[in-house]
Amino acid sequence: MKFRPSPTSRRIWNCRGFCCRADVRRKTILPQACTIEIRLKPNARQESIALDEAGVLHVRVNAPPVEGKANAALIELLSDTLAIPKSWLSIKRGAASKNKVVAVLSMTKEEALRRISVREG
């Protein structure tokens, strides 16, 4: 099902250049997506997520890096950790690399990192 904005909302660009929906009636801005930098380690013994000082997530998954299995395991682990549907996550850059950029819909980067740190600690 496609997202249908309310009649009072319109598309605007925020100060960082990201497209947002603004509800004119409520005067709120709803971000559509944020990006998270990830360093993926496939074939790990156990699955884990760790955040380093630079703000990069180090994710370990059990799946091998064959035919997109590691990418699918990454999306599944992130959706479980963030408690969001898998359809809200997409790999924007690095599908064939261990350095990836993942887009998360309807969540700010701060909120995503907060949820990950709560689950991790």
Domain boundaries, the chain: 1-31, 33-120
CA distance 115 to 121: 10
- Quick check: 50 pLDDT over 70? yes
What is the CATH code of the structural domain delimited by 33-120?
A: 3.30.1200.10
- Quick check: 69 pLDDT over 90? yes
pLDDT band at 21 (very low <50, low <70, confident <90, very high): low
Average pLDDT in the chain: 80
Instruction: Report the pLDDT value the prediction gives residue 29, as an integer from 0 to 100.
Output: 47
The whole-model pTM stands at 0.73
Closest C-alpha to 93, from 103, 84, 83: 103
Instruction: Report the pLDDT value the prediction gives residue 33, as an integer from 0 to 100.
Output: 81
